[in-house]
Amino acid sequence: MRRLVQRLRAADAAILSLTAASLAYSTMQMMIVPALPAIQRDIGATADEVAWLVSAYLASTAVSAPLAGRCGDLFGRRRVLIAVLAVFSCGGLLGVFAPSVEVLVVARILQGAAGAVFPLAYSLSREILPPERAPVAIGLIAGSFGLGGSLGLVLSGPLVDHVAWQATVGLGALLGLVAIAAVARYVPAGTRQRDVSLDPVGGLLLVVALVALLFGISGTAGSRVAFLAAGAAATAAWAAWELRHPMPLMDVRLLASRSIWPVNAAAAVVGFGMYATGFLVPLLAQSDPDATGVGFGASVTATSLFLLPATLSGLGTGAVAGMLGRRYGSLLPLAIGLVTMATGYAVMILGLHVAVAVAAATLISHGIGLNFSLAAMANLVTSAAPASRTGESSGMNTTIRTLGGALGIQIVAIVVVSAGETPDVVSTEGFSWAFGLCGLLMVAGLATLVRHRTAPVPAEAR
């Protein structure tokens, strides 16, 4: 009995440590967005220059998640997890003392590298925890992604208003150090593969492809086509190389399998909705209704009230999704998540001019629905992949979600100001079309799952 209690306590400590690591990264991802005007003013940067603080973070995440996830499969997941958390903490420290926007961009690149905590934490959960605990643990870790994203937006306003914008970057150093201490103390080392064969060419091609695609999505109109063309060419070259390599960095056949690619398709639309909502809700809350006909004229700090209910729902929702997935298979909570997100966007459209309705719709879409979807996708991908490649497959899922998110921000930013009568001014019609597009994409993601994943299998049986 004593051994059982000790085992349960050790498992709980490991789960909390991995959740702390993922929460550190996710809190930083959007925290800097409300601080961009203050940063632009204080360091004399242009709007285009400070926009790179978001793009650089996303680019770093897109590249690091699959690469570090695979390195964790090869060299030991806890070891690589601690390494990326150390890089993350260095980025936060550098950001506090950054004298220019260029140095601050470098700091954000270092912080973004910690996007690899998710595939590493998912893989460690499957490896070190009892089978009956792993789905719930993965649900908690995935729930911290939505929780941290909303928490960063909630905390950003008070930090900017009452401390300084540097706090929105520097907090990452403290969170990273806490996570490193917890992981080193409470997470077992796990295993590593022997007779490792690296694939540097495959890694280089993947980096070029992901960076070019992300810059093509986030860049200016003049550079967009060139970057997208380069990204498509590099992606084709990477896939061809990996298919011929005897020990590829990424198993393209695995990623294209029926058990994984529909989940990655869902990741793209969920990422679109997540980042689009994180952009649209603060914009809606802070818009001046007298000038635009829509919005609530909220301050940066007051904007957090629109996101607070969604923030509070994070971890609990992820855990519930994990328990449902353990019993019925993770396809069910993913379907629930997509339907709930679509419902939230419908409520948003109907209640655009009512503050309580906007907060409730954000809770439904960005809280309950998002966290159900994140937890279910993480469990589906890790249970479908071989144990030796869980970091790789979940890392690519994270990357695809990030690319979808970058695309979401760009598209809804255009839609929200182009649907009204006055150019470059937000409007009720613009917000309605933007949220409507998010809802339609959730329905499309659900249709893809229903068509290609008709026989879900409980995670513990895989």
Write the DSSP assignment of 309-369 as a string of letters: HHHHTHHHHHHHHHHHHHHH-THHHHHHHHHHHHHHHHHHHHTTT-HHHHHHHHIIIIIII
Tokens standing for residue 326: 């353990």
Q: 342: left (phi > 0), else alpha (psi -120 to 50), else beta?
A: alpha
Distance CA 132, CA 92 (A): 36
Q: Which residues of 161-189 are buried (b: 16+ CB within 10 A; e: fewer)?
A: eeeebbbbbbbbbebbbbbbebbeebbee
Residue ranges of domains in the chain: 2-187+249-452, 200-248
> Global pTM?
0.82
Does the 2-187+249-452 domain belong in CATH 1.20.1250.20?
yes
- In terms of average pLDDT, the best of 188-197, 202-211, 213-222 is 202-211
Distance CA 138, CA 106 (A): 31
- Which whole number is the average pLDDT over 361-387? 87
First to last CA, the chain: 29
Give the range among 206-210, 249-253, 279-283, 374-378 with minimum mean pLDDT: 249-253
Distance CA 237, CA 323 (A): 41
Distance CA 435, CA 364 (A): 13
Give the range among 129-138, 232-241, 262-271 with minimum mean pLDDT: 129-138
Distance CA 31, CA 168 (A): 6
What is the Cα 11 distance to its own chain's centre?
25
The angle subtended at Cα 372 by Cα 145 and Cα 31, nearest 5°, is 25
